[in-house]
Structure 1
Amino acid sequence: MVGPGRAVLLVKEFLLELKKLGLGQDVDLHVHEVPVEYQTVQSLVPSLWERYHPQLVVHVGVSGMATTITLEKCGHNHGYTGLDNCSFCPDTKCCVDGGPECIDSVIDMDSVCKRVSTSGLGVAVSVSKDAGRYLCDYTYYTSLYLSQGRSAFIHVPPLGKPYSGEDLGRALQAIVQEMLELLGQAEDTIPCEHEH
């Protein structure tokens, strides 16, 4: 999680490497593991937003099909039919009853991808519009819905296929720093409506 008003990082793997690297002295990084359980997501993700009031939440999930680090553009509300680790699936097969079908991140993932790909980190980064209609997509949509789009989801390949934990930690650090920079630039262009 990135600190007062910065970003929350919810990850399953690569915590130690990313925590060791950090995100810069102006950013408080908090890391939380989210279980592969629909009902836990429905309670934990809102509680983290309530507790930390972050500028950005970045979710990271491992995909056995991924061969690149994949930046997900959007989360989907419907189509959740797979059972979770507790053999549970939402009756409605959706995240938020009455919510929009798709919510895009406010982060320009194409720009993040381009910037990180040309940075010389030695990792392949791509962009996707489908996080898979399972817990990754469910978590992402839930977070996007709560944050008015101030969330991101990154799929990474399993360790060693082809990247080490150090490679993935450095790549995640660079990606999240780019996201925070782009988010900061976007917020700087919003006119202030407070009286001075």
Structure 2
Amino acid sequence: MIVKRLAREARLALPHVRFAVAVLPTDWARAPGLISELHERHDPVLALHFGVATSMRGFRIETEARNFCRMSPDAAGGLPASNCICEGGASALSTSIPATAVAQHLEAQGFEARLSDDAGGYLCNAVFYHSLLEASTRRDRCRVGFIHIPVEAGEPEAVDRTVAGALEVLKFSLHHAPQVATLTSV
């Protein structure tokens, strides 16, 4: 719901930008292939991923994805095939958006934000790692970021504020990569 609403508001605020939007399944087997498919189909200059973190306040800008999967079942009950995302891959990949500047921008706009070097061991981290890996193989490299967004269930004002903050992240990140954006959510 949040990413779809963000995409609608982003298209109104930035009509000169082409957006591709996807809500990824919380599925160890399907999400990585969809990341590759989105990069292939849209060849974005920015792939900005959002994940919900209900237990936190403010926005958490992830600075790295680790080549690690926690053996936790996905929404369909499936487990990751391995403890690592990519056999022989780097132990960690760094975000390619200016994470510190994004956090500072959010704070300047009145949003709580912090940096994190741990996207977790679940699908948020896996999607982030796959997207960074996919972007690194492209000739015209795209910037990749992952933002954990706060959502308080049942509070429309909180959802409005989350969408407004996510739009600020998107606008700021697009300033550094202004042609095409791909938004996903897990």
TM-score, structure 1 normalization? 0.79
Aligned length: 170
**Partner in structure 2 of residue 57 of structure 1:** 47
Determine the structure 2 residue equivalent to 1:187: none
Q: CA deviation at 1:94?
A: 1.4
Aligned match of 1:5: none
Match of 2:115 in 1: 127
Q: Secondary structure at the match of 2:60?
A: strand
CA contact 1:107–1:183 (8 Å) conserved in 2: no
Partner Cα distance (2:119, 2:167) in 1: 21
Cross-structure match for 1:115: 105
- The Cα shift of 1:33 comes to 0.6
Partner in structure 1 of residue 173 of structure 2: 179
Do the aligned partners of 2:60 and 2:148 also contact (CA within 8 Å) in 1? yes
Q: Does 1:35 align with 2:25?
A: yes
- 2:75 corresponds in structure 1 to 85
Of residues 123, 126, 136, the one that matches 1:138 is 126
Question: How far does the alpha carbon of each residue in 1:63-96 deviate from its partner, in whole angstroms, 9 at most, with x for none?
Answer: 1222111111111112421111122222321111
Please list every run of 5 or more consecutive structure 1 residues that lacks an aligned counterpart in the other structure: 1-12, 185-196
Query: Residue 151 of structure 1 corresponds to which residue in structure 2?
Result: 144
Aligned residue for 1:65, secondary structure, equals coil
Residues of 2 paired with 1:86 and 1:140: CA distance?
20
Displacement after TM superposition at 1:15 (Å): 2.9
Q: Partners of 1:102 and 1:30 in 2: how far apart?
A: 27
Question: Larger relative CO (CA 8 A, sep 6+): 1 or 2?
Answer: 2
Note if contact 1:18-1:169 (Cα within 8 Å) is conserved in structure 2: yes
Alignment of 1:18-33 (within 5 A): 18-22=6-10, 23-33=13-23
Comparing 106-115 and 77-86, the one that deviates more:
77-86
In the alignment, is the contact (CA less than 8 A) between 1:62 and 1:156 conserved in 2?
yes
Instruction: In structure 2, list runs of 5 or more residues that go unmatched.
Output: 137-141, 179-186
SS in 1 for 2:97: coil
Structure 2 residue identity aligned to 1:42:
P
- One-letter amino acid of the structure 1 residue matched with residue 128 of structure 2: Y
- SS state at 1:99 partner: coil
Moved more, 71-80 or 137-146: 71-80
In the superposition, the TM-score normalised over structure 2's length comes to 0.83
1:43-70 superposed Cα distances (whole Å, 9 cap, x missing partner): 1110111110011111111112221111
Offset of 1:106 from its aligned partner? 1.4
The CA RMSD over aligned residues, in Å, is: 1.9
Q: Is the 8 A contact 2:54 2:152 kept in 1?
A: no
Q: Percent identity?
A: 23
